[in-house]
Amino acid sequence: MSATTMPTSAPTAPAEFDALLRCLSPELRQPTTTITRIAAGMSGAGVYRVETPDGQFVLKTTAQDEPVGVWRSKVRMQQAVAEAGIAPKVFHADENRRAVVSELIVDRSFPNGG
């Protein structure tokens, strides 16, 4: 396992953690970076919370069998809506690993009954 920590709520296999770490841009791969699973889709895609001293991010991975053209279209759409201020900012996209790192938006829903 790398020098980066792996919390107990993160993927249990060190090899999986290392693979996810390689999806991040080099500046996010810090000794204190943690990666915690948020959700997983039926297609093999995964959503992870990434925490570093510099901030919190979301890592979304897509199944490797998704056609690269489809993946590129989705990333371009995500970048376009982010630039319009409608979606979280995209910080990094890794085509070979079909991974996108974006800004983590904390839910600030209105309280019920107010």
Q: What is the mean pLDDT of each run of 10 residues along the chain (114 residues)?
A: 42 75 93 85 77 93 90 95 94 95 81 60
Q: Which residues of 90-108 are buried (b: 16+ CB within 10 A; e: fewer)?
A: bbbbbeebbbbbbeeeeee
Model pTM? 0.79
Terminal CA-to-CA distance of the chain, rounded, Å?
Answer: 49
Instruction: Give the whole-angstrom CA distance, residue 57 versus residue 50.
Output: 5
What pLDDT sits at residue 17? 84
What pLDDT sits at residue 41? 58
What pLDDT sits at residue 101? 97
99 and 61 in contact (C-beta within 8 Å)? yes
Cβ-proximal residues to 51 (8 Å cutoff; 6+ apart), any chain: 33, 34, 36, 57
